């Protein structure tokens, strides 16, 4: 799969801009704040229908205007694919593939596989479990559309159950059979998600460990575990057994929405005991493993975005990473960096074509 060109209208700081890409390596270079990451984010938008950095659509529209359009022209399986993402203040965002609007965004997810490595990834280590669940869900759903569908339905039922608990509390009433309808539905939707997450981690963890070993040069052992309340007890039982706590908290305290991933380094949490360097290596290994996993699942080589690449790695490590793209395993690469010379020096070493895009 190759992204041949992107056109932006009123996207973040770009009024009107067109980029014609190299099929292999593309580097956006320029001073801080000129919009290098915004170009990568536009490419992200074309795959996921949303920004990686700012989920509020209206804030992705250029200040002082009231709409944006991102157009991407791809070649996939020897076919041209035109993807258009557009948003207007006060209206629903649209994604079109070859002129046809998708009914649901979820139908587009996985069509243009993509992995981004960015300084913002550190949220995976420092933020709450929600970020890690999203990561896991993002990897699984790029190769399994039914997973995303089940997850969306689970979240709808969960919201309904929580609303019912609030209604009971507000009206000082309780109706067990009514709640049980939701318990059964959550069980039916939640158990397959739990099973898919379990299978995912079994397949993903060894790939991750391999990647960590190859980039860290370290002797530490790393671990990645899936934590779920459902490991011990099926969901319907958890829901029944904890009705009184749920009633009190007016919130569903058990289910796959409480799952987490545990990141370890020498059997201690990476967040507390990993050095800056080890944390960065951990994150890069996670993302490269994501790349490997999606490629294997979907049979399509994902696009790889490396945002502010020197944030995570020193020059030697970056060179090592870029040589990976020399390998046929990798496809098209988009890099952003503040120093044109150091980036060009590194990509020149690789026997692949490249294009530099000075921004600003």
Ligand X SMILES: Nc1ncnc2c1ncn2[C@@H]1O[C@H](COP(=O)(O)OP(=O)(O)OP(=O)(O)O)[C@@H](O)[C@H]1O
Judged by the rule CB under 6 A, the positions of this chain that interact with ligand X are: 12-13, 30, 32-38, 59-63, 308, 336, 338
Nearest-CA neighbor of 226 among 204, 242, 207?
Answer: 204
φ, ψ dihedrals at 123, nearest 5°: -55, -30
253 is in an annotated binding site: no
31 is in an annotated binding site: yes
32 is in an annotated binding site: yes
Instruction: Give the nearer residue to ligand X in terms of CB position, either 22 or 308.
Output: 308
Instruction: Give the nearer residue to ligand X in terms of CB position, either 13 or 301.
Output: 13
33 is in an annotated binding site: yes
Nearest-CA neighbor of 110 among 326, 333, 295, 255?
Answer: 295
Shortest Å distance, C-beta 21 to ligand X: 17
Cα separation, 25 vs 348, whole angstroms: 10
What single DSSP character describes residue 310? Answer: G
Instruction: Give the nearer residue to ligand X in terms of CB position, either 8 or 325.
Output: 8
Shortest Å distance, C-beta 320 to ligand X: 22
User: Distance between the two ends of the chain, CA-based, in angstroms?
Assistant: 29
Neighbours of 226 (CB within 10 A): 20
Instruction: Give the nearer residue to ligand X in terms of CB position, either 265 or 313.
Output: 313
Annotate 108-141 with DSSP letters as a single string: TTTTS-EEEE-GGGGHHHHS-HHHHHHHHHHHHH
Instruction: Give the nearer residue to ligand X in terms of CB position, either 259 or 308.
Output: 308
37 is in an annotated binding site: yes
Do 87 and 93 touch, CB atoms closer than 8 A?
Answer: yes
Beta strands in the chain (DSSP E): 2-11, 14-20, 25-29, 67-76, 79-88, 94-97, 100-101, 114-117, 222-227, 260-265, 268-269, 303-306, 333-337, 354-358
Instruction: Give the nearer residue to ligand X in terms of CB position, either 12 or 24.
Output: 12
Shortest Å distance, C-beta 312 to ligand X: 13
Shortest Å distance, C-beta 288 to ligand X: 21
Cα separation, 67 vs 53, whole angstroms: 18
Instruction: Give the nearer residue to ligand X in terms of CB position, either 38 or 150.
Output: 38
92 is in an annotated binding site: no
Shortest Å distance, C-beta 47 to ligand X: 17
Shortest Å distance, C-beta 84 to ligand X: 19
Whole-number Cα distances in Å, 337 to 118, 307, 312, 334:
11, 7, 12, 10
Residue reference for tokens 């996207």: 11
72 is in an annotated binding site: no
Instruction: Give the nearer residue to ligand X in terms of CB position, either 242 or 338.
Output: 338
30 is in an annotated binding site: yes
Shortest Å distance, C-beta 282 to ligand X: 22
**What is the three-class DSSP state of 269?**
strand
Do 186 and 235 touch, CB atoms closer than 8 A?
Answer: yes
Cα separation, 9 vs 24, whole angstroms: 25
Neighbours of 39 (CB within 10 A): 25
Shortest Å distance, C-beta 283 to ligand X: 17
Binding-site residue ranges for ATP: 30-37
Residues making up the binding site: 30-37
């Amino acid at each position: 799969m190759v992204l041949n060109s992107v056109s932006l209208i009123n996207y973040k700081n770009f009024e009107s801009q067109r980029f014609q890409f190299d099929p292999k390596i593309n580097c956006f270079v320029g001073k801080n704040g000129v919009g290098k990451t915004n170009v990568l984010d536009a490419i992200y938008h074309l795959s996921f229908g949303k920004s990686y950095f700012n989920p509020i659509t209206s804030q992705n529209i250029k200040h002082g205007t009231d709409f944006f359009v991102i157009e991407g022209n791809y070649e996939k399986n020897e076919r041209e694919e035109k993807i258009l993402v557009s948003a207007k203040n006060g209206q629903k965002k649209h994604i079109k593939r070859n002129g046809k609007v998708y009914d649901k965004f979820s139908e587009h997810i996985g069509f243009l596989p993509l992995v981004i490595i960015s300084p913002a990834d550190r949220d995976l280590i420092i933020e709450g479990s929600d970020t890690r669940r999203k990561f896991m869900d993002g990897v699984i759903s790029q190769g399994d559309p039914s997973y995303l569908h089940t997850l969306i339905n689970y979240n709808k039922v969960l919201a309904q159950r929580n609303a019912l608990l609030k209604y009971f509390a507000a009206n000082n009433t309780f109706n067990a059979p009514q709640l049980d309808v939701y318990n059964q539905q959550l069980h039916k939707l939640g158990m397959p998600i739990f099973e898919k997450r379990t299978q995912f981690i079994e397949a993903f963890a060894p790939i991750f460990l391999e990647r960590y070993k190859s980039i860290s040069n370290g002797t530490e052992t790393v671990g990645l575990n899936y934590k779920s309340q459902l490991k011990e007890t099926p969901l319907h039982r958890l829901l029944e057994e904890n009705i009184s706590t749920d009633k009190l908290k007016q919130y569903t305290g058990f289910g796959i929405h409480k799952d987490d991933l545990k990141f370890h380094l020498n059997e201690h949490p990476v967040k507390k005991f990993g050095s800056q360097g080890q944390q960065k290596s951990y994150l890069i290994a996670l993302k490269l493993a994501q790349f490997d996993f999606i490629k294997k699942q979907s049979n399509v080589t994902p696009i790889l975005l490396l945002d502010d690449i020197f944030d995570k790695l020193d020059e030697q490590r970056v060179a090592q990473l870029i040589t990976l793209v020399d390998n046929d395993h990798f496809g098209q690469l988009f890099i952003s960096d503040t120093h044109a010379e150091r980036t060009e020096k590194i990509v020149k070493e690789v026997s692949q074509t490249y294009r530099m895009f000075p921004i600003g």
